[in-house]
Structure 1
Amino acid sequence: MTALLAIDQGTTSTRAIIFDINGNKLGSSQCELPQSFPNPGWVEHDAVHIWDDTVACVQGALADAGLAADDIDALGITNQRETTVLWDRANGQPVHPAIVWQDRRTSAFCQQHQDRNDWLNEKTGLLLDPYFSATKLTWLLDNVPDARVRAERGELAFGTIDSWLMWNLTGGRLHVTDATNASRTALFNIARNEWDDELLAFFKIPRAVLPEVRDSAADYGETEPGLFGGAIAIGGIAGDQQAATIGQACFKPGMSKSTYGTGCFLVLNTGSEFKRSQNRLLSTIAYRIKGETTYALEGSIFVAGAAVQWLRDAMHLIRAAGETEKIAKSIPDTDGVYLVPAFTGLGAPYWDPEARGAILGLTRDSGIAHIVRAALESVGYQTRDLIDAMEKDALALTELRVDGGMVVNDWLSQSLADLLQIPVVRPETVETTALGAAFLAGLTAGVYESLEDIASRWRAQTRFEPQMEAARAKKLLAGWHDAVARVRSANAV
């Protein structure tokens, strides 16, 4: 029996899932991951906690599947991207908490250097924004005592979460990343597929801290035998949104997927062409296999499922996320209430790190149901903004493949189809991020012959067709744009 193990390290949880050759789940384990917010706009993780949870989850998934390490054909890693870890090569200990992708502490630096946006975008496909790893790493080198001197001496190692896990899984033997994660640092030239000396000089990053960059499907060695009762071959790494693109089998130019987790990330395959966006989207590496790079356009929304988490944990309007579907159905519409979840600024296509969240359109008749429904609808509005921008850059989308924890909500999936005015397709396996990592590992291990072999195993579960009239969707979207305009910062471009 084929068994492929995926480590899926996300923003709010760490998971390990074991799949069979067709993507059916054999076993899994999950640990919730707390975040800390030491200052307004700051978001941090304990990297050691992430590693401990990873070990526990892999052990738990093996136990759940009734399998041993020797039964696993290969392991793949997928991870929250841009989150930045800096650690001591000698003892493997982080020198500071990990700075999470949502963190906005470097906003002032980015605002100060907005004149470098075109230059940066030409090399990386990205924008100068606190979202990406480069400014986070610069901050660590400038603010952790002796960090810059030690980094220049080669004593410290930088990595996104995949690199941190690989270091620990291999007992410190490998300091590596893959091309997808490297492409999210703002230090990697995605046209030339290499770390860029001019970018390193601009951000004042010593080359000695950087990991080696490999293909997304590649031989990454094997785990330390003592971790899981035997060595497991590691065959793939991809950032979470790229892994979901692979898990959704979006291998042809023009195919697109959108993942709804903590944030929302819409990725459009553009093939072998590095296509720069003219509408404030990101160009990125979708995957690199056998040295051949496939590119994508991406729209990044910072808050999707996190808005539901906020309703539950901060506002106490719901007890569990699963309640939102019933609540949204209990009213015909929001009666003009809009929730703009700019808790950590606005991502694409606005890129306004200083924007802040708001609930607008409240009247005496407004209640909990209106706010909850408005939170769910904000996901659709933000996705529509991304699709409109993508259509200006590339081509009109004919359907959208969706995944992530939020889309198990049928009402939300139908709402997406209505607001987007295109069919929304939910696959049989919504754990597509982990599945994509497993597919990459299986490709390296020879379990799959090709990407076409992987694509043949993808299955649709439900297709949601638009039921709302286009004029109604257009009117709702106009109200959304008015609400967004009200929360934009004075410095917004």
Structure 2
Amino acid sequence: QLESLYPRPGWVELDPEVLWTQFTEAVKEAVQVAGVHMRQIAGLGISTQRSTFITWHKGTGKPFHNFISWQDLRCAELVNSWNRSFLLKVIHVIFTVLHFLTKNDRYLAPSSFTFSTKQASLKLSWVFKNLHEAKEAAKENNCCFGTIDTWLLYRLTKGSVYATDYSNASSTGIFEPFMKCWNPTLSSLLSIPMSVYPPVKDTSFNFGSSDSEIFGVPIPILALVADQQAAMFGECCFHPGDIKLTMGTGAFWNVNTGENLFSSWRDLYPLIGWKIGDEVVYLTEGSLSNVGTAIKWAQEINLFTNVDETAKMAQSVTDSEGVCFLPSCQVSVNDPYSCASFMGLKPSTTRNHLVRAILESVAFRNKQLYDLIVKRIDIPLRTIR
């Protein structure tokens, strides 16, 4: 397990060298456990968490900072400020009018675009405003930006391949999903140099081979795909209306919308699921930041010892006795000062009531997001996997 670093309140980072070491060790262990040899591996696919990113020097490969996680909140107030700004409202109006007049879907996404703390956009802007080395390297076209997939690809090929795929790019908040390119207007607004972005390739693509010194033999790297999109593909959600729900650190609802790109609305936003040849599949995603995070926190404060105990504890009481858990362990986009809390505590409240309230909060929030999907997605929903 890769431990997150919390250098300041709200900041969440990952050590790139620890990640690299654990990645290579995991590959070697998986091959060993499978009872095969590295030379028998036909290809390597890389699926990683999205929007967690790093910048590094193109010449030396040296990172300018740790990975900044998708959970990181250093720009929460800036996100809130941008989403309330007059400029963003003007942008919405302009693109709404353009879409109405032209019926061209290229204007659909920016007509309702909003910033999110989960996206890399404002955090990357923060890097160039606060880290002098990164800013100077960018001026000389010597700065590389990459999500985890891009950085691993770069390390695996010892710097010879620098790229990402459409699923990872679309999750950063800086990529225009309909035009399928890095957004120059947004980059200009945020003072992000266009030179830092990697080329974007198909999800299924021959990205080259790993250097033979890493695994003993060169292994072809044949796919890059973001984690939630990979889960969508793995669950065979290939048809419009298919839904995938995964719950880990957070919860992610993804709806296959086929060739149709739906604009952002409240907690829903458009993504590219995958691009394979001429086929581009779009998704609409809704997410909850704190599911596994809330469970882990409850364990760390000794509400229970083992996660397996939670079901029995919750079922040992008829209800939560009016206790509600508001699981905003991370800052809300709408209110950067919000935080988690229990409500309805009484002298009779036990650990069992608290655990039940936490589990119920997960169910209630998932139901809330499902209702939003049903209301906003104008295609028949088929299955939930």
| Fold similarity call, TM over 0.5 | yes
Note the alpha carbon deviations across 1:126-159, whole angstroms, 9 max, x for none.
Answer: 5212221111111111111232121121222111
Partner of 2:294 in structure 1?
A: 307
1:400 aligns with 2:369: no
Partner of 1:361 in structure 2?
A: 344
The amino acid across from 1:222 in the alignment is S
1:85 aligns with 2:54: yes
SS in structure 2 at match of 1:113? helix
Note the alpha carbon deviations across 1:168-190, whole angstroms, 9 max, x for none.
Answer: 11111111111011111221111
Partner of 1:59 in structure 2?
A: 28
| 8 A contact 2:64–2:133 mirrored in 1 | no
Gaps of 5+ in 1: 1-31, 402-493
Q: In the aligned structure 2, how far is the partner of 1:336 from the partner of 1:383?
A: 20
User: How far apart are 1:236 and its partner, in Å?
Assistant: 1.1
User: How far apart are 1:396 and its partner, in Å?
Assistant: 6.2
User: How far apart are 1:117 and its partner, in Å?
Assistant: 4.7
1:383 aligns with 2:370: no
Partner of 2:150 in structure 1?
A: 163
Partner of 1:71 in structure 2?
A: 40
Partner of 1:284 in structure 2?
A: 271
User: How far apart are 1:353 and its partner, in Å?
Assistant: 4.1
SS in structure 1 at match of 2:132? coil
Superposed, which structure 2 residues align to 1:388-467 within 5 Å? 388-394=371-377, 395=379, 397=381, 399-401=383-385
The amino acid across from 2:384 in the alignment is L
Partner of 2:99 in structure 1?
A: none
Q: 1:261 to 1:83 in 2, by over 3 A?
A: same
Q: In the aligned structure 2, how far is the partner of 1:229 from the partner of 1:124?
A: 50
| 8 A contact 2:12–2:72 mirrored in 1 | yes
> How many positions carry a matched residue from both structures?
366
Partner of 1:38 in structure 2?
A: 7
The amino acid across from 1:55 in the alignment is T
User: How far apart are 1:227 and its partner, in Å?
Assistant: 1.2
Partner of 1:338 in structure 2?
A: 324
Q: In the aligned structure 2, how far is the partner of 1:354 from the partner of 1:289?
A: 42
| 8 A contact 1:124–1:284 mirrored in 2 | no
User: How far apart are 1:91 and its partner, in Å?
Assistant: 2.4
Partner of 2:355 in structure 1?
A: 372
Q: 1:383 to 1:117 in 2, by over 3 A?
A: farther
The amino acid across from 2:12 in the alignment is V
| 8 A contact 1:125–1:190 mirrored in 2 | no
User: How far apart are 1:345 and its partner, in Å?
Assistant: 2.5
Note the alpha carbon deviations across 1:34-84, whole angstroms, 9 max, x for none.
Answer: 111122211111111111110111111111111112222221111111112
1:103 aligns with 2:72: yes
| 8 A contact 1:258–1:264 mirrored in 2 | yes
SS in structure 1 at match of 2:342? strand
User: How far apart are 1:162 and its partner, in Å?
Assistant: 0.7
Gaps of 5+ in 2: 93-107
Superposed, which structure 2 residues align to 1:148-227 within 5 Å? 148-227=135-214
SS in structure 2 at match of 1:262? coil
| 8 A contact 1:124–1:283 mirrored in 2 | no
Root-mean-square deviation (CA, aligned residues, Å) is 1.8
Greater alpha carbon shift after TM alignment, 263-272 vs 125-134: 125-134
The amino acid across from 2:72 in the alignment is D
Partner of 2:281 in structure 1?
A: 294
Give the alignment's TM-score, normalised by structure 1: 0.71
Superposed, which structure 2 residues align to 1:242-321 within 5 Å? 242-313=229-300, 315-321=301-307
The amino acid across from 1:153 in the alignment is E
Note the alpha carbon deviations across 1:22-45, whole angstroms, 9 max, x for none.
Answer: xxxxxxxxxx11111122211111
Superposed, which structure 2 residues align to 1:14-33 within 5 Å? 32-33=1-2
